[in-house]
Chains A and B, each alone.
Chain A
Amino acid sequence: MRRSVPATVVVVVGLLLLVNYIVINPLLAGAAEAVLRLVVVLAAGAALAGGVALVHRHGGDLLRGRGDRLGSAVLLAGLAAVPIAGLYPGSQGVADPAVRWLVGALLAPLIASLFAMLFVFLLLAMREGMAIRSRQVTVMLLAAGVVIVLLLPLGGQIGASLATAADWAMAVPIGGVFRGLLIGVAVVTAVHAARVLLVVEGADD
């Protein structure tokens, strides 16, 4: 029964963290903490590698004149701006006014605008969806219509009734479906983890 190195590492680390979760032992706790610190370093390494890969890809596009050169240039400029603002001599890091300006005046409004445009995009998608005469889209739109009615910000008795119905909808049907999905995902994850830990053939493919 041959096992891959990544699967073996997963099994060892998983068992260590699981046992440390249950048993109070300073030696185990130390080992688990060391593993967690390695995970932190690994995550930082992955982020760094992602940045390098991004620069390599778009820098290459820019130098070879292929793809969207303007987009690549903007991306690289944006990628360079934040480290420069956060690392120049005398910078206060993330609390530096230049970084705060980049985030507060550029990044946050850009992302918030994208989310705000979801409203328009959803309406357009709704029209396109209905153009293909799909029953699923119809059901989805009717459900969306019901939710919208429940969210109408009205006062008085009507508003109180809508709020009560909205609370019920959130707690019962929507909450139930959502929890069902989460439980399903958790069960599949647990089964897969058990297969890996029990060395079931093919589980680490």
Chain B
Amino acid sequence: MTERTSRRRGFLSVPGLWPFLLVSALALGIVLDGVIGGDQLQSANPEAARAAEMAAALDALPDGALVLVAMDPDLGTYPEIRGTVRAVLDDLLGRGARLALVSFTAEGRAVAAAELQRLRAAGVDPGRLFDLGFVAGAEAGLVLSVTDLRPAAGTAPASFAAVAGGIAAFDLALVVGGVDIGPRTWAEQVTPRLPDLPIAAVVPTFLHPEVAPYLRTGQLVALLGTFRDDAAYLLAVGAPSGVRDATSSPGELPMLLGLLIALAFIGRAVASHRPGLGTAAAREPEEPA
């Protein structure tokens, strides 16, 4: 019995076993996502208020609305909101809006270039899709853009250049936020100068606590800031083409597996902790085995 226990312990302590099992479990979850699950798994928020607010903000736009899409997400966290951003862009185009993409960060510009390419490849009318490029200077550049935002000469139709002198010319600003420039920057720098401009935002979950107060004060007309709200919005409008394959948001099953693995680690770590042993400062780390 002791020998069997010892053998089992020996197997469990094989170097690299646990990371291998972890990655294998996640890979299995990704493979089986959609096969197993059904109604038992759901990532969409049953409280669909945030999704409804976004839909209402888009409903309020006039025909042929001119929408400024400020693409400033971080490359690292953009995968979390990519599906939602694409769904909102598709929703806007489906409503007949004209989109102008601009970036105030270098990372945002890289993402904007990729999204523009995707939309052009999807056959979006070039007359409804404008590239305003990268505006240097971060917040200073944003403030200058309030009165002076135009594409480089020859890069946009004359009809667009005629109306887009600055951010004030737009019917809605859709801010795709990141660490450097996001809805907070817009609420601080643009809203006081253009109080009538409606601003909607899509941000990754980690920015939600920072941005949520601006929704309550009305400085944002809509905010999608958690994966549950994103999923609820996708459920309401339908996922855009291509979102549920290679560019998919995380599926429910791999997400569940990852969370359970993390929970197991935490439970094991906390259970092995004996209370009353003092603080980190008073105790030396254990010697590695």
A84-95 Cβ-contact flags toward B at 8 Å (1 or 0)? 000000000011
Known: A133-B278, A149-B263. A126 touches B42 (CB 8 A): no
> When the two chains form the complex, which single residue of B47, B111, B116, B279 contacts A136, counting CB atoms closer than 8 Å?
B279
Cα–Cα, bound, A160→B76 (Å): 29
A: interface residue count bin: 35 or more
Q: Is the CB of B140 within 8 A of A39?
A: yes
A136-169 Cβ-contact flags toward B at 8 Å (1 or 0)? 1110011011001101111110011001101100
Check A201 for interface membership: any CB of B closer than 8 A. Answer: no
Check A191 for interface membership: any CB of B closer than 8 A. Answer: no
Which residues of A sit under 8 angstroms from B137, Cβ to Cβ?
A: 36, 39-40, 43-44
Check B192 for interface membership: any CB of A closer than 8 A. Answer: yes
Check B255 for interface membership: any CB of A closer than 8 A. Answer: yes
Q: Is the CB of A114 within 8 A of B76?
A: yes
Q: Is the CB of A37 within 8 A of B266?
A: no
Q: Is the CB of B77 within 8 A of A104?
A: no
Cα–Cα, bound, A136→B279 (Å): 8
Known: A114-B76, A152-B259. A126 touches B265 (CB 8 A): yes
Cα–Cα, bound, A154→B141 (Å): 44
Interface stretch, picked from B54-62, B90-98, B267-275, is B267-275
A76-115 Cβ-contact flags toward B at 8 Å (1 or 0)? 0000000000000000001100011001100110011011
Q: Is the CB of B110 within 8 A of A43?
A: no
Known: A107-B75, A175-B213. A130 touches B269 (CB 8 A): yes
Q: Is the CB of B270 within 8 A of A100?
A: no
Which residues of B sit under 8 angstroms from A144, Cβ to Cβ?
A: 262, 266
Cα–Cα, bound, A40→B258 (Å): 43
Check B143 for interface membership: any CB of A closer than 8 A. Answer: yes
Known: A108-B75, A133-B277, A159-B46. A43 touches B116 (CB 8 A): no
Which residues of B sit under 8 angstroms from A99, Cβ to Cβ?
A: 113
Check A194 for interface membership: any CB of B closer than 8 A. Answer: no
Check B150 for interface membership: any CB of A closer than 8 A. Answer: no
Q: Is the CB of A36 within 8 A of B136?
A: no
Q: Is the CB of B109 within 8 A of A131?
A: no
Check A52 for interface membership: any CB of B closer than 8 A. Answer: no
CB within 8 Å of A: which residues of B? 19, 22, 39-43, 45-47, 74-79, 109-111, 113-114, 116-117, 131, 133-134, 136-138, 140-141, 143-144, 147, 192, 208-210, 212-213, 226, 228, 252, 255-256, 258-263, 265-267, 269-270, 272-274, 277-280, 283-286
10 new A-B pairs (CB below 8 Å) besides A123-B22, A129-B269? A33-B144, A36-B137, A39-B140, A40-B144, A111-B74, A137-B280, A141-B266, A154-B40, A154-B256, A170-B208
- List the 9 closest A-B pairs by CB distance, nearest first: A40-B137, A134-B280, A155-B42, A178-B209, A115-B76, A39-B140, A130-B269, A153-B43, A103-B110
Q: Can you list 13 A-B pairs, Cβ within 8 angstroms, ordered by A?
A: A111-B75, A111-B76, A120-B19, A133-B283, A134-B283, A153-B43, A154-B40, A154-B41, A159-B46, A163-B45, A170-B208, A174-B209, A179-B209
CB within 8 Å of B: which residues of A? 21, 33, 36-37, 39-40, 43-44, 94-95, 99-100, 103-104, 107-108, 111-112, 114-115, 119-120, 122-123, 126-138, 141-142, 144-145, 148-149, 151-156, 159-160, 163-164, 166-167, 170-171, 174-175, 178-179, 182
